[in-house]
Amino acid sequence: MPVSRPESSDSRIIAHVDMDCFYVQVEQRKNPDLRGKPTAVVQYNSWKGGGLIAVGYEARKDGVKRSMRGDEAKEVCPEIHLVQVPVARGKADLTIYRDAGSEVVSILARKGRCERASIDEVYLDLTDAAETMLKETPLESLESIDDEVLKSHILGLSSDGKDDRESVREWLQRKDADHRDKLLACGAIIVAELRLQVLRETEFTCSAGVAHNKMLAKLASGMNKPAQQTIVTSASVKELLETLPVKKMKQLGGKLGSSLQTDLGVNTVGDLLQFSEEKLQDFYGVNTGTWLWNTARGINGDEVQGRLLPKSHGSGKTFPGVRALKTVVAVEKWLKELCEELNERLQSDLVKNKRIAHTLTLYVNAYKSTDTESHKKFPSKSCPLRYGAGKIMEDAVNLFQAALREYLGPYIGNQCGGWGVTNLSVSASKIVAIPSGTSSITKYFHSRDQLNDSSEPLGEKFVLEDDHVSPSRTESHPASHQIECGEEEIPITHDISSSDQCETACKDEASGDIAEEAFKLSSGTESCSTLKQKEQQSRLHGKETKMMHPNDGIRSYNQKRKATKEKGTSSILRFLHSNSTSSPKQDNPTPLQETKSLSLGTQEPLNIESQSSSQNVQTTNAWSYKVDEIDQSVIEELPLEIQQEFRNWLRPQKRPNIVKRGSSIAHYFSPTKN
């Protein structure tokens, strides 16, 4: 439903720029021989010549319409040139048109806040640019005005027998004009200049509407095409909307517009003026009723969002008629193609614009051959988005299967009489810029290693195989870690595939002990000489260790888990607090002595003692962090226990509201004790 927003009290100058038959212009720039000739862009399928996507103005003069197919267009205009849209993965590839639209946006954004509404249309907020122009160059003092500006169409302007361009000049340079009209005149000059720049740099023509809000600017941009602009003055708003069909207004083309026609007998926007705001609110609710009341008077408070990049990425395909998909296998085949295309666009957006998407949505249009509930729609489904073509496809297939079960209800199987999918699309939304200063959690460990390398004579490095120890994985496979100490390597290996019990134990410990070991080993508190001594000790007892029963490793884990529960689980917060409270002025850090025994599976246990050096070490370059710069996607990769504890740390509990003694009003009126 539409949202009612109050209009700003200050005058705004908003422009809506719409490219003229954009797809055809892109093809004509690629092939200049098509310029001036009747041209249309058609879909890749060859059935009846393909459906028309865009029709050039030369072909429109001969009666060609977008509702026609290629063969019918040739009958109406035998000279027409039909250009097939590029194809990739068995569907239309619009990349060339998106890139061309980006060229236009980069030019228009030079003068003000820019919102890209689609491939070929843009909103501009030129208020600041118009104010600056009015202060620096009063319109009355302009000696010459570009001919492109004088060709503007100003609604409500009567020529009185004068030349149209001369009438426009007089309107622009009126001395008795109010501030709003003067800003509007400046906006008209700025938009004309921008349109000329687009033509010079891209060879594309565009039309524009200039008004005091987005709604009116959008209506005006399509009134005089191609390559022209229309200005909506405050005095012309009532005349513009009075005869405008209600279905032509944005957000009134669907059910709401039909309800206005059937329930209230409203056929034009002007018909809404006869209803009070309270009456409209009674029919459609407070918000929608207020929006309708404002719309009838040309009031709209929507802001230009300042968005040069799309809000979402999508990939879809239609399967009309006999080409409908009727099996899950066929749906999965096309989901693979769509998800690969979506993944490419997401990866490109990530590299070029440093943005990430968070939500994956599946949209499907389908039917049942024996449908007794024809009004029932195939439900759309969403889930958190995981990057990677394979993961996106896996999630999309799961969403489809869940939606199909909901769509068919209790009649899944042969009893439902079959089904067919006529449209299939996947979309990635909730795209946000990666906050500055955020990075993967692994970068923290690397920075700690570099700090240790600079303070110790022998470097110490911890190599962590993420794919093997990630607690989120359910596969069973061996994993290995190495501690490099000088020129020698001490392998720490464990195999979690020997038994189900050991696998479960390893998964539980991954979020506690192994993570704690990683933190300790990467913190630089273990000297290389100590590690070598421990290695020699472990080798001396190697023979005895090898004779351990295979289940001893499991029992060691169970004992360790029990001891950990009694003592208190190790936390990532201990690590954060220790770093956040560290001070470079500290000269004598408190020695930390801990002994850790790691025994996994049937492997030899390795005893590691962490002991800080007795020498005075001055802490430098202490790691710091800001709460608003923490990447939430990194937190979601942590084990659930650490996630919960981390979020509790980010949002500490509120202090209890304890009333101090003597602070209540009852105490104030209580008798005074002598």
Counts of helices then strands in the chain (DSSP H, E): 26, 22
pLDDT at residue 208 tops 70: yes
Given 121, 148, 341, 509, which residue is catalytic?
121
Q: Which residues pair with 122 in a beta bridge?
A: 17, 116
Which segment of 51-65, 267-281, 579-593, 643-657 scores lowest on mean pLDDT? Answer: 579-593
pLDDT at residue 398 tops 80: yes
Burial class (CB in 10 A: 0-12, 13-18, 19+), 634: middle
Mean pLDDT of 395-420: 80
The span from the CA of 640 to the CA of 221, in Å, is: 53
Which segment of 362-371, 427-436, 540-549, 625-634 scores lowest on mean pLDDT? Answer: 540-549
| Residue-wise burial string across 347-385, b where 16 or more C-beta atoms lie within 10 A, e elsewhere | eebeeeeebbbeebbbbbbbebeeeeeeeeebeebeeeb
Q: Going from the N-terminus, what domains does the chain have, and what CATH number goes with each?
A: 7-114+129-206 (3.40.1170.60), 243-295 (1.10.150.20), 313-433 (3.30.1490.100), 442-649 (no CATH)
604 is catalytic: no
Tens digit of each residue's pLDDT (9 = 90 or more) over 82-133: 999 998 888 888 899 999 999 999 999 999 999 999 999 999 999 999 999 9
Mean pLDDT of 466-485: 37
Task: Provide the 3-class DSSP secondary structure of residue 263.
Answer: helix
Q: What is the mean pLDDT of the chain?
A: 76
Task: Provide the 3-class DSSP secondary structure of residue 363.
Answer: strand
pLDDT at residue 589 tops 50: no
**Stronger pLDDT, 520 or 56, i.e. the higher one:** 56
Label the pairing between strands 14-19 and 121-125: antiparallel
Mean pLDDT of 356-362: 96
Task: Provide the 3-class DSSP secondary structure of residue 270.
Answer: helix
Which segment of 74-83, 437-446, 636-645 scores lowest on mean pLDDT? Answer: 437-446
Mean pLDDT of 150-177: 89
Per-residue model confidence (pLDDT) at position 340: 94
The length of the chain, given as a count of residues:
674
pLDDT at residue 615 tops 60: no
pLDDT at residue 377 tops 50: yes
Task: Provide the 3-class DSSP secondary structure of residue 84.
Answer: strand
The span from the CA of 204 to the CA of 360, in Å, is: 35
Q: Is the pTM of this model over 0.85?
A: no
The span from the CA of 88 to the CA of 52, in Å, is: 18
